[in-house]
Amino acid sequence: MEKSRALTKKAKKIQAGGTGSTQRLKVITLEGTTIYMERGSGSKIYDVDGNEYIDYYLDYGPLINGHAHPHIVKAIKEQVEKGTMYGINNELEIRLCEKLIKHVPCAEMVGFHSTGSEAVHTALRLARAYTGKNKIIKFEGHYHGWFDSVHISSFSPPKGPEEAPEPVLGSPLGQPKSVLQDIMVLPWNNAEVLEKTLKKQAKEVAGIIMEPIELGHGILPKEGYMETVRELSEKYDVVLIFDEVKTMFRVGLGGAQEYLKVIPDLFVCSKAMGGGLPISAFGGKKEIMELITQGKVPAMGTYNANPLSLAGALANIEVLEKDGGKAYKEMYRVGEKLMKGIREIFEELKVKAIAKGLPCQFVTCFTEMSAEEITNYRAWSKAIESAPEKGERFRVELLKRGVFSSYPDWHLSTVHSDSDVEKTLGAVEDSIKEAGLAK
Ligand SMILES: Cc1ncc(COP(=O)(O)O)c(C=O)c1O
């Protein structure tokens, strides 16, 4: 860790936070040293000291086809030769619109930004402009980016009664309290509370935004919940927005809306669409999206629809589409094997822990609670907070054994292999023993 140690020391003096994004240090620090990465290839990432890690962090999801996939690298190289930014229309944006319209059930028109936070920002504007109303309903524990208007009750410990959560600012210092006037925080997976709220306050509510599957907590909607949300949003003239930044192109080509067969009015996506290039999209019903065409709602950004990101995203989607989505089947098979293998190790070693979620992304957690009990953020917070030190010891031991898990999350890619799973399961077993987590 010699080189990483020297870089950590330098960064602490000159880089704000000692990292590019505040959340990062949590997953990549080992004994006070930040591990600096140098290159990635397939399912592996390599640090500056030459250590290899099987990567289940995958930049928190975007690298659905692993690192430096040859098809994506070729497309980017070809585009670099032709220029990275035109700042004006190019044909690639039409091609990516067509792909999204083909795969995403609600997409009748599409637009682009560079990050998920920006795409959410535009979707919220559209909802407000379309309905002429102001308030947005969001759900406790759902993250929609770090912009002032929605970075509320995302990761913070729950506050207030479960049925009426107290909104919590993501950054109490620096974030204006006034944003709380336009946000209502409700418990997710609870149709009754949503219905009551809309019955009383629908006249003020422009939109409902949600993560349709809580991949980061391994939680799926309860049976019938999403259908009820859809019915209620129609009944009360509220725009339903699915934030599919995590789920789109990870769960499948048509994201959570295809998986759950519930179609929102608007969607936003990013991560696994770009396959490692900074790009996001928003889209949905034509009559809402046309507010932009009509010049009523601006959607701006210097880097919007830049040809480099578009070329990368198109090549990434081509890999995913190939042979009728064969890559997804393989990713789900390998992910299932890993999740099942981890569960078996927990059982064998009598460790009180769970592995839950979808094979494309799941979570592990050291808790006395059962996977079935965890159906919303309150329950998840209780579970993850019951033994945070165990999770931390597990993460560190895995990292020492060449497995980069970003505990509690495990992201799969289409290039993780059976051999990765074998090695990982060996590391999981050894880490549990070494960290003293086995009975
Ligand atoms: C569901 C969801 N929405 C929005 C965002 C924000 O995206 P970005 O970090 O690209 O701004 C994220 C990022 O993790 C996310 O997971």
Ligand 1 geometric centre to CA of 118 (Å) = 9
Q: Which of the residues 53, 57, 60, 143 is marked catalytic? A: 143
Residue 243: active-site member: yes
Ligand 1 geometric centre to CA of 117 (Å) = 6
CA distance 303 to 353: 43
Residue-wise over 71-91: b if at least 16 C-beta within 10 A, else e? ebeebbeebeeeeeeeeeebe
User: Do 411 and 56 meet the contact criterion of CB atoms below 8 Å apart?
Assistant: yes
pLDDT at 26: 83
Strands 280-284 and 109-113: antiparallel
Q: Which residue lies with its CA nearest to atom 7 of ligand 1? A: 116
Per-domain residue ranges for the chain? 2-68+324-434, 86-305
Ligand 1 geometric centre to CA of 113 (Å) = 12
Tokens of 345: 């190790």
Q: Provide the strand spans (E) within 75-158.
A: 109-113, 135-139
Strands 37-41 and 183-186: unpaired
Tokens of 431: 């880490």
Helix then strand then coil, % of the chain, to nearest 5? 45, 20, 35
CA distance 275 to 96: 13
Residue 138: active-site member: no
What are the φ and ψ backbone dihedral angles of 182, each rounded to 5 degrees? -105, 10
Strands 353-358 and 266-269: unpaired
Q: Which residue lies with its CA nearest to atom 14 of ligand 1? A: 145
What are the φ and ψ backbone dihedral angles of 32, each rounded to 5 degrees? 80, -5
Ligand 1 geometric centre to CA of 351 (Å) = 32
Sign of CA dihedral 49, 42, 418, 250: positive
Q: What count of residues does the chain have? A: 439
Cβ-in-10-Å burial (0-12, 13-18, 19+) of 267 comes to buried
Ligand 1 geometric centre to CA of 144 (Å) = 6
Q: Which of the residues 243, 265, 409, 420 is marked catalytic? A: 243
Residue 143: active-site member: yes
Residue of 293, 266, 214 lying closest to 105 (CA atoms): 266
Pocket around ligand 1 at a 6 A CB cut-off: 60, 115-117, 120, 143-145, 211, 243, 245-246, 270
Cβ-in-10-Å burial (0-12, 13-18, 19+) of 196 comes to middle
Location of structure tokens 């609600």: 106
Q: What is the CATH number of domain 2-68+324-434?
A: 3.90.1150.10
Location of structure tokens 């980016």: 145
What distances in angstroms separate CA 58 from CA 35, 117, 217, 312, 343, one per listed residue? Answer: 15, 19, 17, 16, 22
CA 402 to chain centre: 23
Ligand 1 geometric centre to CA of 407 (Å) = 18
Q: Which residue lies with its CA nearest to atom 12 of ligand 1? A: 145
Q: Which residue lies with its CA nearest to atom 6 of ligand 1? A: 145
Ligand 1 geometric centre to CA of 245 (Å) = 6
Return the amino acid letter for 13: K
Cβ-in-10-Å burial (0-12, 13-18, 19+) of 386 comes to middle
Q: Which of the residues 44, 138, 271, 390 is marked catalytic? A: 271
Return the amino acid letter for 270: S
Assigned fold of 86-305: Aspartate Aminotransferase; domain 2 (3.40.640)
pLDDT tens digit at each of 439 positions of the chain: 999 999 999 999 999 999 998 888 888 889 889 999 999 999 999 999 999 999 999 999 999 999 999 999 999 999 999 999 999 999 999 999 999 999 999 999 999 999 999 999 999 999 999 999 999 999 999 999 999 999 999 999 999 999 999 999 999 999 999 999 999 999 999 999 999 999 999 999 999 999 999 999 999 999 999 999 999 999 999 999 999 999 999 999 999 999 999 999 999 999 999 999 999 999 999 999 999 999 999 999 999 999 999 999 999 999 999 999 999 999 999 999 999 999 999 999 999 999 999 999 999 999 999 999 999 999 999 999 988 999 999 999 999 999 999 889 999 999 999 999 999 999 999 999 999 998 7
- Best residue for ligand 1 mutational test, from 118, 210, 246, 377 (most atoms within 8 Å of Cβ): 246
- Best residue for ligand 1 mutational test, from 143, 148, 155 (most atoms within 8 Å of Cβ): 143
Task: Write the Ramachandran bin of 279: left for phi over 0, alpha for psi from -120 to 50, otherwise beta.
Answer: beta
User: Do 315 and 76 meet the contact criterion of CB atoms below 8 Å apart?
Assistant: yes
Q: Which helix H or strand E contains 34, and what residues bound it? A: strand 33-34
Q: Which residues pair with 267 in a beta bridge?
A: 242, 283
Location of structure tokens 């003096």: 13
The pTM assigned to this predicted structure is 0.97
- Best residue for ligand 1 mutational test, from 24, 213, 270, 280 (most atoms within 8 Å of Cβ): 270
* 405: helix, strand or coil: coil
Closest ligand 1 atom to residue 211 Cα is 1
**Count of CB atoms situated within 10 Å of the CB of 11:** 17
Rounded to 10°, the helix 91-103/307-348 angle is: 40
Q: Which residues pair with 208 in a beta bridge?
A: 137, 240
pLDDT at 111: 98
CA 416 to chain centre: 19
Rounded to 10°, the helix 225-235/191-201 angle is: 10
What are the φ and ψ backbone dihedral angles of 63, each rounded to 5 degrees? -80, 60
